[in-house]
């Protein structure tokens, strides 16, 4: 009996092709062993035309999906992306959109290959596979991958994959990215690269399953149909390209695109960075003690460290090391080594490979030291855990990495590339919509964050969303159709800012009133869990933006207040007197926590999500007073900030309707601030001695102490560094 | 691709018109940027030591005799670049609600039981050089330790004289402090 014929090149199986490819890379350091890529170089015009055709196919596919889908995630904020892959699952090109998934979609394909799908499950022309299990690959279970093989004659020549973030995957309330869930079963539907369609048609039994499993089945199924339409469109376009350019050219050129990008990436690293060691630390807070979870051991508040070390090596490679990351816990925020690549992908394509040619080659010069087993980034028991929101700590981790890359660009003189990023606060709801249907009610105006300052100008107001440079807030009116709430305003929040010579961009807080629902529950959303300790992303004298806030306000006698046309809260204002202002309006702040647990909300309640922006850059008292005036005139800063932070004396000219700067008073304020710093500041040695005494006496919050214990338990290297800095005796146990 | 020093000066100072700034952001990068950057920074400091590597808005690694030290624009010297310069700065730590709220009023304030805002000042000119947000008890971060010799030797192809070993020497400072 002869060996079964594979569906890959020359009758090879996909597994053989994958293993050969990996071996060639190990042996040569070049993708697919391409030490002499030549096809693209020989005819650059043809090569450019070829790449443009691939990109056009992917972008057209993405737009096709947006036309078919009914979800505001797809239509309004465009949380989707398409990628084209080699038979081995390596990314060749990707559309615009959430470009986190370069490697993650490929990892799902490679999982199928390694699990012998070719022989045991079967991979045929017209088959649709679906995946959303972060244990295999992904950032959170709400991201659903639709994967279609591309055959030419009988040979599989590639794959196309679409990723869409879903509003409902049947998870425990609120149903998309729940935070009060800790066990796998509460994540909702999980698809492990399952075949859901054949011959370009969705299986009817799959539709039945979805119709009976999800509240928003129609949205989910329309998204699948959108993804199918997109994938088919790309597949057919690729077939045309193959016909036009020839199959041999297609195979060679697609691989050369990856190798070319790898070489370009090394060149960019050497052109824009400075070799050395860069360090920072992320803290992730998990306030779970009050969360209504059934697995009682999960009800504990913890904080975990994720130290980040980036070594930029003389050979033009980057090594990331998270030594000292604390232990995993019973919550939905544990990540996987795979998920780290999502963060690396998105930062890479936004800061280095932003010429539209980003693919697997962008990632090949980057290595990640495998996080220690049982750390937050690599739990042994990941299959037991909820994986609805690994995305949350990943956002802060890779916003931080962007900050670290910004440091190296700054040193090299490319100050215009210096940038940093931080995630938002948010609410999510579940309950009855305006039409009486019970369902998840997640509104995700994700484009409202304030990114960090640039090295040559202020950050772009409302201009930051790590996942994609394209996403926007979407129309308030469309979100109001999907969610029983009314947006009270969309105004920049001056107090969201990260101060500096160049300030961060400002954020737009969500201030939404619950409206027209008979029963509704709200809880925190992604990104809200880490602000007892704010991120360390102020640059070169700039401050990080303040805490992110999720605030729940309730008014007494709301209906009566409405009838009397009494005042309502529509903006955050000064953070110091919000409580007083709410009280004057006849309301109270019901919850003001870091990670609000699910709570019932009623008509008239306000759900406020106030983001904290990224970091400012440079000493705030060196900010150009003209920039302070401009911000004051535009309502983007306040007199309090001008005087107390920027040391600028400003008064409002009511007649001219603009602010006036007093240069002499400003100069004096700035001189006084310098004197104050010299008076207040102490030599670090003096501070160290006192801080050491406190550390030795274990005089610290119990959660902080446990945080250090957790990292030290896993990592002797971390324990040694901690002891070294505080000059602790060898036998010291925290 | 290259830009004139006038444009680069304006770029660094935030004075370049947006259209030009955007063009510099979007176009391929200029290979001689580092050399011009160093020249511009050198023009702006009142002291003669040669800048080898910028370290931020006011700090640079400079050559002084056979040593490489961190130096502030004002002339203050922080010592060997392989020892965390922050340990030679002045520090003010915001670790109470009152001092936190000077910067982060009301609900914007981090939790002083968990978080410290550490401000590092130049002891001479009082410039705010770095603001760290750190969990209470976390070691002072040594954010940036550049491998200057590899950079000059392998990336710029003009090795520096008197190459130094690339390693973190901060522990030597701590060891001295611990003896006192």
Render pLDDT for A23-62 as a digit per residue (tens, 0 to 9): 999 999 999 999 999 999 999 999 999 999 999 999 999 9
How far apart are the CA of B65 and the nearest CA of chain A, in angstroms?
A: 23
Higher model confidence: residue A389 or residue A364? A364
Across chain B, which has 180 residues, the per-10-residue mean pLDDT values are: 94 95 93 97 98 98 96 98 98 97 95 97 98 98 98 97 96 96
How far apart are the CA of B68 and the nearest CA of chain A, in angstroms?
A: 15
Residues of chain B contacting residue A271, judged by C-beta atoms under 8 Å apart: 29, 31
Across residues A575-579, what is the average pLDDT?
Answer: 92
Q: Which two tokens stand for residue A466?
A: 């790590």
Task: Compute the Cα dihedral for A106, A110, A112, A118 and give only its sign.
Answer: positive
pLDDT-derived band at A610, boundaries 50, 70, 90: confident
Higher model confidence: residue A596 or residue A682? A682
Across residues A428-438, what is the average pLDDT?
Answer: 92
In this complex, do B137 and A691 lie within 8 Å of one another by their Cβ atoms? yes
In this complex, do B90 and A624 lie within 8 Å of one another by their Cβ atoms? no
ipTM over 0.95: yes
HEC string of B80-104 equals ECCCCHHHHCEEEEECCHHHHHCCC
Percentage of chain A exceeding pLDDT 90: 76
Buried b (16+ CB within 10 A) or exposed e, A620-650: bbbbebebbbebbeeebbbeebbbbbbbbbb
- Residue A136 reports pLDDT greater than 60: yes
pLDDT-derived band at A173, boundaries 50, 70, 90: confident
In this complex, do B12 and A542 lie within 8 Å of one another by their Cβ atoms? no
Interface test with A, best of B16, B31, B34, B139 (most A CBs within 10 A): B139
Residues of chain A contacting residue B117, judged by C-beta atoms under 8 Å apart: 543
Each as own residue / partner, the long-range contacts of residues A463-467 (CB below 8 Å, 24 or more positions apart, any chain) are A463/A505, A464/A421, A464/A422, A464/A505, A464/A613, A464/A614, A466/A346, A466/A347, A466/A350, A466/A395, A466/A398, A466/A399, A466/A402, A466/A421, A466/A423, A467/A79, A467/A98, A467/A100, A467/A346
- Residue A2 reports pLDDT greater than 60: no
In this complex, do B138 and A281 lie within 8 Å of one another by their Cβ atoms? yes
Any idea which of A256-270, A381-395, A436-450 has the lowest mean pLDDT?
A: A436-450
In this complex, do B130 and A538 lie within 8 Å of one another by their Cβ atoms? yes
pLDDT of residue A73: 81
In this complex, do A283 and B135 lie within 8 Å of one another by their Cβ atoms? yes
In angstroms, rounded to a whole number, what is the distance separating the alpha carbons of residues A258 and A358? 9
Count of A–B CB contacts within 8 Å?
255
Q: What is the CA radius of gyration of chain B?
A: 19
Yes or no: say if A373 and A334 are a contact pair by the CB < 8 Å rule: no
DSSP alpha helix (H) spans, A44-101: 44-68, 72-75
Residues of chain B contacting residue A283, judged by C-beta atoms under 8 Å apart: 135
- Residue A466 reports pLDDT greater than 80: no
Yes or no: say if A297 and A384 are a contact pair by the CB < 8 Å rule: no
Yes or no: say if A628 and A583 are a contact pair by the CB < 8 Å rule: no
In this complex, do A619 and B57 lie within 8 Å of one another by their Cβ atoms? yes
Q: Is B141 on the interface with A (CB under 8 A)?
A: yes
How far apart are the CA of A562 and the nearest CA of chain B, in angstroms?
A: 27
pLDDT of residue A99: 80
- Residue A467 reports pLDDT greater than 80: no
In angstroms, rounded to a whole number, what is the distance separating the alpha carbons of residues A259 and A361? 6
Q: Closest Cα partner for A360 from A71, A30, A734, A19?
A: A30
DSSP H or E segment with residue A392: helix A391-412
A452 Cβ contact list (under 8 Å, min separation 6): A403, A406, A419, A420, A421, A422, A459, A464, A498, A504, A505, A537, A539, A613, A614, A615, A616, A617
In angstroms, rounded to a whole number, what is the distance separating the alpha carbons of residues A385 and A378? 12
Q: Which residue of B has its CA nearest to A279?
A: B143
pLDDT-derived band at A448, boundaries 50, 70, 90: confident
Percentage of chain A exceeding pLDDT 70: 97
In this complex, do A276 and B146 lie within 8 Å of one another by their Cβ atoms? yes
In angstroms, rounded to a whole number, what is the distance separating the alpha carbons of residues A363 and B55? 27
pLDDT of residue A470: 65
Task: Compute the Cα dihedral for A545, A272, A627, B56 and give only its sign.
Answer: positive
pTM, 2 dp: 0.96
Across residues A605-621, what is the average pLDDT?
Answer: 93
Interface test with A, best of B105, B131, B173 (most A CBs within 10 A): B131
Nearest to B177 among A457, A610, A688 (CB): A688
Percentage of chain B exceeding pLDDT 90: 97
Each as own residue / partner, the long-range contacts of residues B100-106 (CB below 8 Å, 24 or more positions apart, any chain) are B101/A576, B102/A644, B103/A499, B103/A543, B103/A546, B103/A645, B104/A546, B104/A547, B104/A575, B105/A495, B105/A574, B105/A575, B105/A576, B105/A640, B106/A574, B106/A575, B106/A576, B106/A577, B106/A578
In this complex, do A727 and B178 lie within 8 Å of one another by their Cβ atoms? yes
pLDDT-derived band at A147, boundaries 50, 70, 90: very high
- Residue A437 reports pLDDT greater than 50: yes
Q: Which residue shows structure tokens 């963060």?
A: A343
- Residue A469 reports pLDDT greater than 70: no
Interface test with B, best of A267, A454, A536 (most B CBs within 10 A): A536
Yes or no: say if A152 and A247 are a contact pair by the CB < 8 Å rule: yes
In this complex, do B107 and A547 lie within 8 Å of one another by their Cβ atoms? yes
pLDDT-derived band at A529, boundaries 50, 70, 90: low
- Residue A725 reports pLDDT greater than 90: yes
Nearest to B133 among A416, A534, A644 (CB): A534
Yes or no: say if A231 and A223 are a contact pair by the CB < 8 Å rule: no
In this complex, do B113 and A701 lie within 8 Å of one another by their Cβ atoms? yes
Q: Is B174 on the interface with A (CB under 8 A)?
A: yes
In angstroms, rounded to a whole number, what is the distance separating the alpha carbons of residues A582 and A567? 10
- Residue A464 reports pLDDT greater than 80: no
Residues of chain B contacting residue A688, judged by C-beta atoms under 8 Å apart: 87, 140, 174, 177
pLDDT of residue A456: 97
pLDDT of residue A1: 43
- Residue A531 reports pLDDT greater than 90: no
pLDDT-derived band at A447, boundaries 50, 70, 90: low
- Residue A160 reports pLDDT greater than 50: yes
Render pLDDT for A390-406 as a digit per residue (tens, 0 to 9): 888 888 899 899 999 99
In this complex, do B115 and A532 lie within 8 Å of one another by their Cβ atoms? yes
Q: Is B19 on the interface with A (CB under 8 A)?
A: no
- Residue A3 reports pLDDT greater than 70: no
Q: Which residue of B has its CA nearest to A304?
A: B135
Average pLDDT over chain A, rounded to an integer: 93
């Amino acid at each position: 009996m002869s060996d079964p014929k594979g569906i890959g090149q020359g009758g090879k199986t996909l597994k053989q092709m994958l293993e050969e490819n990996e071996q060639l890379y190990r042996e040569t350091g070049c993708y697919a062993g391409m030490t002499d890529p030549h096809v693209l170089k020989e005819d650059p015009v043809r090569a450019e035309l070829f790449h443009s055709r691939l990109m056009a196919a992917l972008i057209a596919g993405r737009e096709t999906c947006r036309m078919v889908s009914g979800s505001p995630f797809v239509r309004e904020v465009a949380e989707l992306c398409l990628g084209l892959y080699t038979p081995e699952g390596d990314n060749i090109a990707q559309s615009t959109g959430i470009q986190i998934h370069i490697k993650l979609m490929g990892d799902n394909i490679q999982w199928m290959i390694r699990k012998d799908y070719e022989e045991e499950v079967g991979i045929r022309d017209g088959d649709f596979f679906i995946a959303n299990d972060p244990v295999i690959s992904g950032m959170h279970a709400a991201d659903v991958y639709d994967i279609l093989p591309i055959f030419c004659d009988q040979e599989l020549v590639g794959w196309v994959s679409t990723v869409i973030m879903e509003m409902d995957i049947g998870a425990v309330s609120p149903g998309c990215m729940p935070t009060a869930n800790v066990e796998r079963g509460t994540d909702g539907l999980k698809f492990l690269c399952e075949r859901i369609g054949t011959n370009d048609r969705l299986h009817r039994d799959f539709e039945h399953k979805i119709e009976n499993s999800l509240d928003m089945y129609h949205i989910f199924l329309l998204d699948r149909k959108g993804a199918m339409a997109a994938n088919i469109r790309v597949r057919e376009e690729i077939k045309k390209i193959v016909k036009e350019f020839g199959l041999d050219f297609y195979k060679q050129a697609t691989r050369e695109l990856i190798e070319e990008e790898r070489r370009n990436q090394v060149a960019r690293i050497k052109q824009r960075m400075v070799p050395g060691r860069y360090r920072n630390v992320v803290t992730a807070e998990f306030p779970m003690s009050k969360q209504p979870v059934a697995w009682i051991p999960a009800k504990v508040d913890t904080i975990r460290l994720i130290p980040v070390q980036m070594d930029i090596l003389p050979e033009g490679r980057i090594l990331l090391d998270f030594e000292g990351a604390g232990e995993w816990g019973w919550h939905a925020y544990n990540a996987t080594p795979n998920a780290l690549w999502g963060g690396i992908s998105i930062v890479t394509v936004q800061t280095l490979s932003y010429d539209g040619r980003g693919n697997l080659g962008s990632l090949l010069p980057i290595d990640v030291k495998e996080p220690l087993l049982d750390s937050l980034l690599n739990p042994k028991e990941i299959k037991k855990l909820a994986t609805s929101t690994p995305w949350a700590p990943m956002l802060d981790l890779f916003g931080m990495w962007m900050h670290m890359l910004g440091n190296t660009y700054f040193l090299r003189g490319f100050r215009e590339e210096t940038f940093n990023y931080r995630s938002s606060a948010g609410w999510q709801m579940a309950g009855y919509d305006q039409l009486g249907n019970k369902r998840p009610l997640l509104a995700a105006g994700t484009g409202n964050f304030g990114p960090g300052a640039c090295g040559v100008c202020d950050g772009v107001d409302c201009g930051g969303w790590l996942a994609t440079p394209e996403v926007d807030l979407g129309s308030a009116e469309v979100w109001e159709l999907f969610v029983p709430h009314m947006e009270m305003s969309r105004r920049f929040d001056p107090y969201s800012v990260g101060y500096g010579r160049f300030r961060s961009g400002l954020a737009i807080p969500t201030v939404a009133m619950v409206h027209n629902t008979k029963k509704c529950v709200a809880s925190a959303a992604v990104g809200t869990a880490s602000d007892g300790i704010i991120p360390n992303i102020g640059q070169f004298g700039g401050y990080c933006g303040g805490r992110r806030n999720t605030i729940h306000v309730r008014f007494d006698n709301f209906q009566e207040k409405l009838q009397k046309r009494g005042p309502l809260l529509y903006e955050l204002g000064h953070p110091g007197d919000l409580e007083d202002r709410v009280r004057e309006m006849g309301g109270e702040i019901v919850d003001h926590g870091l990670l609000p647990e699910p709570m019932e909300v009623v008509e008239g309640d306000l759900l406020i999500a106030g983001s904290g922006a990224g970091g400012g850059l440079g000493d705030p008292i060196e900010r150009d007073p003209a920039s302070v005036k401009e911000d004051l005139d535009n309502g983007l800063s306040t007199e309090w900030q001008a005087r107390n932070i920027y040391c600028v004396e400003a008064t409002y000219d009511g007649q001219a309707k603009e602010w006036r700067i007093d240069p002499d008073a400003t100069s004096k304020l700035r001189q006084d601030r310098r004197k104050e710093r010299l008076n207040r500041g102490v030599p670090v040695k003096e501070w160290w001695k006192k801080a050491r005494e406190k550390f030795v006496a274990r005089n610290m919050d119990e959660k902080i102490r446990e945080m250090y214990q957790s990292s030290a338990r896993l990592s002797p290297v971390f324990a040694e560094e901690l002891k070294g800095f505080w000059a602790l005796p060898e036998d010291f146990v925290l | 691709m290259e830009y004139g020093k006038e444009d680069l000066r304006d770029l660094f100072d935030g004075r370049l018109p947006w259209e030009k700034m955007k063009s510099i952001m979007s176009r391929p990068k200029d290979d001689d940027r580092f050399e011009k950057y160093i020249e511009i920074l050198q023009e702006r400091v009142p002291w003669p030591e040669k800048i080898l590597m910028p370290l931020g808005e006011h700090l640079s690694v400079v050559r002084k005799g056979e040593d490489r030290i961190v130096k502030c624009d004002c002339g203050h010297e922080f010592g060997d670049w392989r020892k965390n310069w922050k340990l030679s700065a002045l520090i003010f730590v915001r670790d109470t609600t009152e001092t936190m709220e000077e910067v982060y009023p009301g609900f914007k304030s981090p939790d002083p039981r968990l978080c410290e805002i550490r401000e590092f000042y130049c002891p001479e000119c009082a410039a705010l050089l770095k603001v760290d947000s750190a969990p209470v008890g976390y070691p002072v971060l040594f954010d940036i330790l550049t491998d200057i010799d590899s950079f000059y030797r392998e990336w710029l192809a003009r090795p520096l004289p008197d190459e130094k070993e690339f390693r973190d020497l901060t522990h030597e400072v701590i060891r001295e402090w611990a003896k006192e």
